[in-house]
């Protein structure tokens, strides 16, 4: 399985059409473009030299995403191809319709030549009678794809709707680094980026965005965009992910045994033999096959999803079994401690067994912390859901390089740094689909999304039912245990006050037996309470029910929506938001519940 992503950097281009470029600046502007592309390339090579161990062995890839418009786009695309870059085209209309934007002759010939040399071409279903909206849509698509925006711009922010100034303003607002090459004045290339400031800028604009000389800051910008987080925890978790290998068997049976003992569900083969990464990857690949995209388009994504999904499921069972075992063995230790009252002749072996129980609890807790069961469960589950969401949004060219959760007002800080980094690195590697986004393609993507929603709804309903049943039965068991304690206490009091015989049963008095019972039953009830609190089964059931409800509403909306690119893209964003909100809420609950000694 390919755990490591390829080192990639995607540059978008916006700029004026040919008739708006100053002829006297043509040669100088072309040279600036070449120098900027060269510096971007050398900056990425520096990242590869310093951090190559976290990336796949493939050579770093520089990719230009361009609408191939006559003028700036053409100039930069030709320079990028000459420098060995990959060029991906995204067009506002079908390719033949878009060709009418170019004057017959050399300009149109250049367009078809660049189109033929592009690695991928994503044709938006724009309509000529709504041309302005189509140009805006392709500008947004460029921003969805790129890490850095190259803007060949005269610097005037007051241009009309859909123009270069609008795209630059949108890029700044989305915290995308913009390299401004001035088209009408001999000025050095400027970097416009909110990342130049330590202070957070909530609503950045072209007027207030921090600026710097691009030649001074570009290496640091590319490093900041592409290298993994330097925090020791992120580094450790990333290396653990790279080394993940799905186990063929698991010793973690206490949690499945609890489900079986309470009648929630019987033991299954998967409880003993975890799902393999290849099988999980194949399931996602089968869902994506409905979209009609070739398997190579999302190969790296699918493989990393398989690793994260199976690792998340494996460590979930390990962690849950760990805390179930801790509380259960703690209850056994109490039973053993009190058994000395009833079996004084066996005090030594009983003490030895009690010591063994305590040591097992300590070793289990130490192993959980040392091997990171808790963190690996949560982080891998989070990564798997991010990649699953990306697998579907990427079919419409949306790479989610800027988190939907952050845009929706959720706490993006709750997402581990290495998880966000690996998701973005995978998105860059995935790139732009090579497809015409016509009604047929949109229908296939919608069908695939509806299939995912149906599967997720079934899972959420099933999970909610299981967790509700488990919570209810554990709660009832606790009530019976504490009720039994009350009965034993009341019985002893009644017998004592009524003068009933309190003689000896064998060598043990009734008082000792009652003492044993009234201590053991509450300890077992406390163990059950601890399992309930640690597992938060009621909370899991509630969140699963709410997620299923949101998915049902989205399903109804998608089934009745007309086939429209922007509307479907918005629905897929909503789907990603639902899935990631669910995992974020779940993570917030379990973040503060690592494996610990029963207390």
Domain definitions of the chain by residue range: 8-226, 254-591
**212 Cβ partners below 8 Å, 6+ apart?**
190, 191, 193, 196
Please tell me the predicted confidence (pLDDT) of residue 376: 93
Please tell me the predicted confidence (pLDDT) of residue 411: 42
DSSP β-bridge partners for residue 435: 122
Closest CA to 432 of 123, 126, 14, 177: 123
Please tell me the predicted confidence (pLDDT) of residue 409: 35
User: What whole-number distance in Å separates Cα of residue 580 and Cα of residue 589?
Assistant: 14
Closest CA to 533 of 587, 472, 588, 593: 593
Please tell me the predicted confidence (pLDDT) of residue 434: 96
Q: Give the pLDDT confidence of 219-240 residue by residue, as tens digits.
A: 999 999 999 999 999 999 999 9
Q: What order of strands is seen across the sheet that includes strand 211-213?
A: 211-213, 190-192, 177-182, 148-153, 8-15, 61-66, 86-91, 120-123, 435-436
Give a three-class secondary structure readout of 277-323. HHHHHHHHHHHHHCCCCCHHHHHHHHHHHHHHHHHHHHHHHHHHHHH
Closest CA to 90 of 55, 58, 114: 114
Q: Are 459 and 302 in contact (CB under 8 A)?
A: no
The stretches in the chain having pLDDT less than 50 are 404-413
pTM reported for the whole predicted model:
0.92
Please tell me the predicted confidence (pLDDT) of residue 218: 95
CATH fold of 8-226, please?
A: Rossmann fold (3.40.50)
Q: Are 22 and 40 in contact (CB under 8 A)?
A: no
């Amino acid at each position: 399985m390919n755990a490591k992503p390829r080192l990639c950097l995607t540059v978008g281009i916006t700029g004026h059409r040919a008739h708006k470029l100053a002829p006297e600046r043509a040669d100088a502007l072309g040279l600036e473009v070449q120098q900027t592309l060269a510096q971007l390339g050398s900056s990425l090579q520096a990242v590869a030299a310093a951090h190559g161990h976290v990336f796949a062995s493939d050579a770093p890839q520089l990719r230009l995403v361009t609408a191939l418009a006559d003028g700036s786009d053409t100039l930069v695309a030709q320079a990028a191809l000459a420098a060995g870059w990959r060029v991906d085209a995204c067009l506002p209309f079908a390719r033949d319709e878009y060709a009418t934007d170019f004057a017959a002759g050399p300009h149109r010939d250049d367009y078809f030549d660049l189109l033929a040399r592009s690695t991928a071409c994503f044709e938006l279903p724009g309509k000529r009678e709504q041309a302005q909206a189509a140009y805006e849509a392709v500008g947004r698509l460029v921003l969805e794809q790129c890490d850095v925006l190259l803007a060949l711009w005269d610097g005037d922010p007051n241009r009309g709707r859909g123009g270069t100034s609008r795209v630059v303003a949108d890029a700044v607002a989305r915290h995308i680094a913009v390299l401004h090459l001035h088209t009408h004045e001999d000025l050095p290339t400027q970097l416009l980026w909110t990342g130049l400031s330590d202070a957070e800028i909530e609503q950045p604009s072209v007027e207030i965005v921090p600026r710097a000389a691009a030649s001074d800051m570009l290496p640091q910008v590319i490093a900041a965009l592409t290298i993994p987080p330097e925090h020791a925890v992120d580094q450790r978790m990333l290396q653990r992910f790279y080394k993940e290998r799905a186990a063929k068997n698991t010793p973690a049976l206490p949690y499945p045994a609890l489900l079986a003992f309470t009648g929630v569900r019987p033991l299954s083969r998967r409880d003993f033999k975890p799902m393999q990464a290849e099988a999980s990857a194949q399931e996602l690949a089968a869902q994506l096959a409905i979209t009609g995209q070739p398997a190579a388009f999302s190969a790296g994504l699918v493989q990393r999803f398989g690793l994260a999904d199976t690792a998340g499921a494996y460590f979930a069972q390990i962690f849950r079994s760990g805390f179930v075992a801790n509380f259960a063995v703690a209850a056994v230790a109490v039973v053993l401690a009190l058994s000395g009252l009833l079996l004084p002749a066996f005090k030594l072996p009983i003490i030895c067994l009690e010591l063994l129980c305590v040591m097992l609890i300590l070793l289990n807790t130490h192993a959980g912390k040392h091997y990171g069961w808790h963190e690996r469960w949560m982080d891998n589950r989070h990564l798997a859901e991010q990649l699953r969401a990306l697998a579907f949004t990427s079919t419409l060219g949306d790479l989610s390089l800027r988190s939907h959760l952050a845009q929706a007002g959720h706490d993006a800080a709750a997402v581990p740094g290495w998880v966000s980094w690996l998701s973005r690195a995978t998105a860059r590697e995935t790139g732009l689909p090579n497809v015409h986004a016509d009604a047929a393609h949109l229908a296939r993507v919608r069908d695939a999304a509806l299939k995912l929603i149906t599967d997720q709804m079934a899972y959420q309903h099933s999970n909610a039912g299981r967790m509700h049943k488990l919570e209810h039965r554990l709660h009832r068991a606790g009530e019976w245990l504490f009720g039994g304690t009350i009965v034993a206490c009341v019985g002893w009091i009644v017998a004592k006050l009524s003068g009933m015989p309190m003689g000896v049963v064998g060598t043990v008095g009734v008082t000792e037996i009652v003492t044993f019972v009234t201590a053991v039953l509450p300890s077992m009830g406390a163990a059950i309470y601890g399992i309930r609190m640690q597992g938060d089964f009621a909370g899991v059931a509630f969140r699963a029910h709410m997620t299923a409800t949101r998915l049902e509403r989205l399903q109804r909306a998608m089934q009745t929506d007309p086939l429209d690119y922007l509307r479907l893209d918005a629905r897929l964003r909503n789907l990603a938001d639902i899935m990631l909100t669910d995992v974020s809420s779940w993570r917030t609950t379990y973040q503060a519940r690592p494996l610990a000694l029963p207390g």
